[in-house]
């Protein structure tokens, strides 16, 4: 008889998250089970329940992790710029860079079928990420660098713009394959679409995002 798989693991929660991410990359966020996650992590099929009540809880944890990294990436990119419009622009490029770097997380964050009302940690992490965008937009409006308007509406406009590019990029729908090409296109879209109060060239280097 083969040896029973262990119930314990040095860092069980992280091992399960990494196994889930590998399965998401292979089959998407819906076509796997907790038993398969456990098998890939090399633990017993009951081990995941030590940390996750069900598959929805595991997906919510992946999403929470993703939102945290996305928030940090946007804040870091914005902090490198002094002009408020450039801060917003580079936060947007960081959003797309995150999607390219973490496509599995991105998919779970926006496409996975887990009810956010029963997983408040994911909902809170999502709200923190969006609040960064709203804050950056509000800063532009206050400095009269964007057209006057409701910061929430303008934030939704900016989000729709970068999210659309990110989604097209990770699903292979753009005619570009390298990160450099995709970010160059994203920079073009942002430059041409941001509702700046006075149309001007706000192009800047994107390589550091």
Distance (Å, rounded) from C-alpha 28 to C-alpha 112? 9
Confirm whether 131 is domain-assigned: yes
Q: What is the pLDDT of residue 9?
A: 52
pLDDT < 70 positions in the chain: 1-10, 116, 198-209
Residue 12 sits in the same domain as residue 106: no
Residue 123 sits in the same domain as residue 48: no
Digit-coded pLDDT (tens) for 12-55: 999 999 999 999 999 999 999 999 999 999 999 999 999 999 99
Number of structural domains the chain divides into? 2
Q: What is the pLDDT of residue 114?
A: 73
Give the CATH number of the domain where residue 17 resides: 1.10.10.60
Residue 72 sits in the same domain as residue 173: yes
Distance (Å, rounded) from C-alpha 38 to C-alpha 49? 10
- Check if the beta carbon of residue 102 is closer than 8 Å to that of residue 163: no
Q: What is the pLDDT of residue 113?
A: 73
Residue 167 sits in the same domain as residue 79: yes
The DSSP string of 4-53 is PPPS--TTHHHHHHHHHHHHHHHH-SSS--HHHHHHHHTS-TTGGGGT-S
Residue 70 sits in the same domain as residue 39: no
- Check if the beta carbon of residue 45 is closer than 8 Å to that of residue 107: no
Residue 74 sits in the same domain as residue 157: yes
Residue 84 sits in the same domain as residue 11: no
Q: What is the pLDDT of residue 202?
A: 46
Q: Which of 92, 206, 60, 80 is nearest to 157 (CA)?
A: 92
Residue 26 sits in the same domain as residue 113: no
Q: What is the pLDDT of residue 197?
A: 79
Residue 25 sits in the same domain as residue 116: no
Residue 42 sits in the same domain as residue 111: no
> Domain limits at 153?
63-193
Give the CATH number of the domain where residue 84 resides: 1.10.357.10
Q: What is the pLDDT of residue 51?
A: 94
Residue 36 sits in the same domain as residue 86: no
Q: What is the pLDDT of residue 8?
A: 52
Residue 22 sits in the same domain as residue 77: no
């Amino acid at each position: 008889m083969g040896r029973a798989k262990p119930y314990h693991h040095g860092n069980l929660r992280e091992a399960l998250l990494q196994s889930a991410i590998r399965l998401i990359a292979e089959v998407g966020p819906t076509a796997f089970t907790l038993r398969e996650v456990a098998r890939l992590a090399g633990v017993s099929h009951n081990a995941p329940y030590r940390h996750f009540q069900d598959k929805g809880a595991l997906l919510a944890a992946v999403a929470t992790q993703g939102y945290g990294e996305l928030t940090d990436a946007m804040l870091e990119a914005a902090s490198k710029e002094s002009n408020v419009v450039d801060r917003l622009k580079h936060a947007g490029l960081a959003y797309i860079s995150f999607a390219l770097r973490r496509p599995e997380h991105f998919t779970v964050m926006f496409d996975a079928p887990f009810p956010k009302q029963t997983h408040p940690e994911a909902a809170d992490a999502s709200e923190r990420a969006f609040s960064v965008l709203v804050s950056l937009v509000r800063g532009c409006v206050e400095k009269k660098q964007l057209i006057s308007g409701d910061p929430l509406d303008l934030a939704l406009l900016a989000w729709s713009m970068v999210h659309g590019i990110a989604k097209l990029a990770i699903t292979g729908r753009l005619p570009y394959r390298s990160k450099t090409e995709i970010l160059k296109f994203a920079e073009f879209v942002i430059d041409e679409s941001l509702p700046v109060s006075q149309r001007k060239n706000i192009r800047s280097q994107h390589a550091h995002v």
